[in-house]
Amino acid sequence: MNEQLHHVIKSIDERQEELLNLLKTLIRFETPSPPARNTKEAQDFIAGYLKELDFSIDQWDVYPNDPNVVGVLKGSSSEQYKSLIINGHIDVAEVDNHSNWEKSPFDPFIRDGRMYGRGTADMKGGLAGALFAVKLLKEAGLTLPGDLTFQSVIGEEVGEAGTLQCCERGYTADYAVVVDTSELHIQGQGGVITGWITIKSPQTYHDATRRKMIHAGGGLHGASAIEKMTKMIQGLQELERHWAVTKSYPGFPAGMNTINPAVIEGGRHAAFIADECRLWVTVHFYPNENHDEVAKEVEDHLLQLAKADPWLREHPPTFKWGGTSMIEERGEIFPSLDIDPDHSGTKALAAAHENVLSESPKIGMSPTVTDGGWLGDAGIPTVIYGPGDLENAHAVNESVSIKELIQFTKVLTSFIYNWCHTEK
């Protein structure tokens, strides 16, 4: 290891109070999503932090009062050396006002080697460590020949398109690290897509006509949309079980590709036959699948079932998939993210982890989803690597291990320096 870099990494222990104070500052910005539309002050802080480190800043509103911040530090020899994206989200999970927090979720405190507060594990800890790593390199005069891009995005907690907009804006690199919750494991992920399945009758009937619909000789070819939706739910269960025995992927326990009937809405009044029913589903899929293909599998299966029902045959279900916001559109997509353990970037990150912590990192798959899928979908080799555990993410009295946060900051400092000194 470069002697000067070694000195910088060693100094993290001595300067850990600065790191912890930075994390406390980020936590005090109240950025829960939902309700969202509350990140501007926090993003202004990050933009100012990066600007002081000579990053050029691109800041724009994804939604009012919810801007993205992208900082770019041009390398001294960009054409010859590898470039890197560091990505993280500034929004945190919502806070239930009736939940039993020891203190205010946005008033951080330390106890028994852990920092408590909303966002410590998911994922302001990762953002703080990444920001501090960049600051240490800059202060030490360790210039980077390759480009470094820092993305602080909004909306990850509710499937909003912060990272997608960064990709659409043209930001790219030879490698990307999403510093989200992973317990310092190097991870890919499966994907998620939500969808709405709708059954609708062309006519609305008084509930007194139900007898004519259900008895022989009634003569009324009508149906309750709610009752017909139960057939669709049963069909989804059958497809889910079929997937469980016919699909698998290394790194995932069996049956991770689930179909969850999450919300059902239907009917208009107790005096009417339900003329419409809507089912909101969440579909998880593996890294070797994409959301369009999976959505089509669900549609094809349900449409085949509908053909076997006399009424559904003439009034088949309709589908609406995805969306760019669970708040605005009640829909989201998280593309899956496959990872290549033999990619030079993954090997360099694993080497940095091993050099700093004297142990090999675990490389595998996250059971949850992050914005990493959007970067991978844009053709950027990407991994998830950050402090914090999923048991604390979104939890009451959320916390992160200070030791793990310091370890993460050391590894990322080493990796940023070495990767941006890697020739193309």
Q: Give the domain ranges of the chain.
A: 3-190+337-419, 191-321
Looking at 66, 122, 147, 156, which residue is catalytic? 156
Q: Taking a C-beta distance cutoff of 8 angstroms, is the pair 190, 99 a contact?
A: no
Q: What percent of the chain has pLDDT over 90?
A: 95
Unique residue bearing structure tokens 């694993």? 350
Give mean pLDDT, residues 162-179: 98
The answer, yes or no, to whether residue 227 has pLDDT greater than 90, is yes
- Per-residue pLDDT, 1: 67
Closest CA to 164 of 329, 333, 44: 333
The answer, yes or no, to whether residue 304 has pLDDT greater than 70, is yes
The fold of 3-190+337-419 is: Aminopeptidase (3.40.630)
Sign of the four-CA dihedral 255, 263, 162, 20 = negative
Taking the C-alpha atoms of residue 17 and residue 142, their distance in angstroms, rounded to an integer, is 22
Give mean pLDDT, residues 366-370: 96
Helices (H) and strands (E) in the chain, counts: 12, 18
CA distances (Å), origin 208, targets 1, 173, 235, 271: 81, 65, 30, 8
Per the annotation, the verdict on 156 as an active-site residue is yes
Give mean pLDDT, residues 277-294: 97
Half-sphere exposure of 284 (CA within 13 A, CB side): 22
Looking at 91, 160, 174, 180, which residue is catalytic? 91
Give mean pLDDT, residues 362-370: 96
Give mean pLDDT, residues 379-404: 97
Give mean pLDDT, residues 25-42: 98
- Per-residue pLDDT, 97: 81
- Per-residue pLDDT, 316: 98
Report the CATH architecture of 191-321. Answer: 2-Layer Sandwich (3.30)
- Per-residue pLDDT, 219: 82
Q: Residues 128, 162, 186, 254: what is their CA dihedral angle, to the nearest 10 degrees?
A: 130
Taking the C-alpha atoms of residue 239 and residue 231, their distance in angstroms, rounded to an integer, is 12
Q: Taking a C-beta distance cutoff of 8 angstroms, is the pair 106, 28 a contact?
A: yes
Report the alpha-carbon angle 278-279-284, nearest 5.
150
The answer, yes or no, to whether residue 403 has pLDDT greater than 90, is yes
Report the alpha-carbon angle 413-13-184, nearest 5.
50
Report the alpha-carbon angle 130-69-181, nearest 5.
40
